[in-house]
A = this chain, B = another copy of it.
């Protein structure tokens, strides 16, 4: 009789910064009930928890840990390690790869009294250099996708076990997860899994088929709780497996000890196929998705799939400035930490927490589009940096690795990041207490899935359809009418953005990027100089503004420095033409205080509460901004003269496991005024930015 080994693993993870109630719900709907069912069956499996979640479970549900430990002692359950905070391993510094893994391994030893030898690789993001890092962290095997192997030129019938890979003379065993099983479990009847296993069974019985996927598929994903537990899918599944004599469940570790590798392999940079779609620039992503759809329809996909591939995870950093900025800030804090002798453990921990992958990318989960996840990254990095107690400084360096120098002013109270090359803008404003980046906004970009907004169904509409489907099959939406929120920004939504408006500009039009920009200042290069002693930066550009049909030379200069706990900003605008002109000038600041529904967060003008950050409006006054009473932070523009101030919320429309949703990404605050500019006569606009709530 032919036989086969079935290696089954699940990976349970919650992003650093996720809400408590979401963790509890995931526990009640997936993590707990899964093992309640497992308990009653003679099957073996492997489980991975990311460190942050495991800590939370140990704190909140020690009985759960106790139960899992008993499975481990009965040799029915293997616990796999991974990066403690689930970082994308290839894009963090090498020493931290090891640190992250060793920390989780230590926690596992402590909680489960077992030494993990296998590793869950976050999002299966593989690069060859992972091999060496994992080997050095004591990892014996990692689990990746079958397409990692297929892209190396191996065929399905060669993927019945594990292979050995190597880097710099260090080896690692790698198991291929069957994509077919990922799509069958838990969506199709158990027989479908058995049929698949039968195809790979052999007479000598040494083959293995591997399933390792998100534990949240078993209860948290839409429709799955009812399907997996209430309707008994998991019970049936385990029963089917244990009743099938020719299928043997083993932990990965057991299989590794019992069977030799199938061969040597070198895996290219990979993740699962969907990730390679998401990581592509939008235009390429759209082409790729259309191509895949065509090939699937024509039945040609299978034949081509070995040679078809989208982008790689790192491309998210090129695609989303916001992702790159977090990543490069993380690398900067890494350098700062390595310069300090024996940094405080809290600083190291905060830094490692900031490597959690979720906020850095975006696919079918919210990820980068979720402000609270980005906020967790910034909070942890600013906190880590603050704990190092560095002296105030001015740095001129290519901080975001775009080939141009940026200017960073660090005072005791805040960090100001300027990008001279791109409008001389302020693109990060860290307040050290509370630790956060006030400019944690997100630019509105085209995403290829926006084209499917029209066909999206609400959950109620879907429920009518009945059956649990995989997330990849259905287009859901959390609410109707989101298409009306779609707008794409032609410049990035940061601060100190210098506008010259055309006459027919309206607040409504401006908020949708439908307005006439008359100047060439918003995203063009500024020159700059710094004064390290005064923590001052001066940025200037000799640019142009359309006035009527004339392209008028105008210079804009802005000088920024800390003053009495505030940020002093002095603009000087000069008409370089030989005739007087009238212009409409505006300074735009986009600020994100998160939680716009909360009562303690509101717009303010000359001391008056203008209400929720979701509001939309215009006000005239000398002081204007946003306040967060909880975190005790604000962003108030204090001018010496009356100005008009526009404000509106920035919403993105993104797709995640719950479907399309609108997400508040900050508020745009634009202070503007009409200027009459005589030839060669500089006009000054001076204001301060207050950041401390004590003042508000």
Find the B residue at minimum CB distance from A170.
B401
Measured in the bound complex, the distance between the Cα atoms of B309 and A318 in whole Å is 21
Residues of B within 8 A of A154 (CB): 281, 284
**Interfacial residues of chain A within 234-276, with CB under 8 A of chain B in the complex:** 260-261, 263-266, 268-269
Given A264-B318, A266-B312, A318-B266, A164 and B306 contact (CB-CB distance below 8 Å): no
CB distance from A159 to the nearest CB of B (A): 13
How many residues from A make CB contacts under 8 Å with B? 57
Residues of B within 8 A of A314 (CB): 128, 266
Q: With an 8 A cutoff between CB atoms, is A371 at the interface?
A: no
Residues of B within 8 A of A153 (CB): 280-281, 283-285, 310-311, 315
Contact call B169/A283, Cβ cutoff below 8 A: no
Find the B residue at minimum CB distance from A262.
B403
Contact call A315/B261, Cβ cutoff below 8 A: no
Contact call B306/A287, Cβ cutoff below 8 A: yes
Q: With an 8 A cutoff between CB atoms, is A328 at the interface?
A: yes
Q: With an 8 A cutoff between CB atoms, is A288 at the interface?
A: yes
Measured in the bound complex, the distance between the Cα atoms of B153 and A291 in whole Å is 14
Contact call B283/A155, Cβ cutoff below 8 A: yes
Q: Out of B166, B264, B308, name the residue touching A307 (CB < 8 Å).
A: B308
Measured in the bound complex, the distance between the Cα atoms of B307 and A32 in whole Å is 41
**Interfacial residues of chain A within 151-168, with CB under 8 A of chain B in the complex:** 151-155, 164, 166, 168
Q: With an 8 A cutoff between CB atoms, is A179 at the interface?
A: no
**Interfacial residues of chain A within 424-453, with CB under 8 A of chain B in the complex:** none
Contact call A402/B164, Cβ cutoff below 8 A: yes
Residues of B within 8 A of A173 (CB): 403
Measured in the bound complex, the distance between the Cα atoms of B265 and A166 in whole Å is 27
Measured in the bound complex, the distance between the Cα atoms of B300 and A147 in whole Å is 24
Find the B residue at minimum CB distance from A283.
B155
Q: With an 8 A cutoff between CB atoms, is A42 at the interface?
A: no
Contact call A152/B311, Cβ cutoff below 8 A: yes
Q: Out of B94, B169, B315, B331, name the residue touching A328 (CB < 8 Å).
A: B169
Which of A164, A169, A263, A303 counts the most B-chain CB atoms under 10 A from its CB? Answer: A169
Q: With an 8 A cutoff between CB atoms, is A194 at the interface?
A: no
Measured in the bound complex, the distance between the Cα atoms of B264 and A283 in whole Å is 16
Measured in the bound complex, the distance between the Cα atoms of B324 and A284 in whole Å is 36
Residues of B within 8 A of A35 (CB): none
Q: With an 8 A cutoff between CB atoms, is A190 at the interface?
A: no
Residues of B within 8 A of A281 (CB): 152-154
Q: Out of B265, B306, B402, name the residue touching A318 (CB < 8 Å).
A: B265
Find the B residue at minimum CB distance from A129.
B129
Contact call A310/B312, Cβ cutoff below 8 A: no
Given contacts A127-B129, A304-B308, 17 further A-B contacts (CB under 8 A): A127-B269, A128-B269, A151-B309, A152-B281, A153-B281, A153-B310, A154-B284, A166-B317, A168-B331, A169-B332, A171-B398, A171-B401, A260-B403, A263-B318, A263-B402, A266-B314, A287-B303
Q: Which 10 A-B pairs have the closest CB atoms?
A: A153-B284, A266-B314, A164-B403, A166-B401, A169-B331, A153-B280, A261-B403, A153-B281, A264-B318, A171-B401
5 pairs of residues in contact across A and B, judged by CB atoms under 8 Å: A151-B309, A166-B328, A171-B398, A171-B403, A287-B306
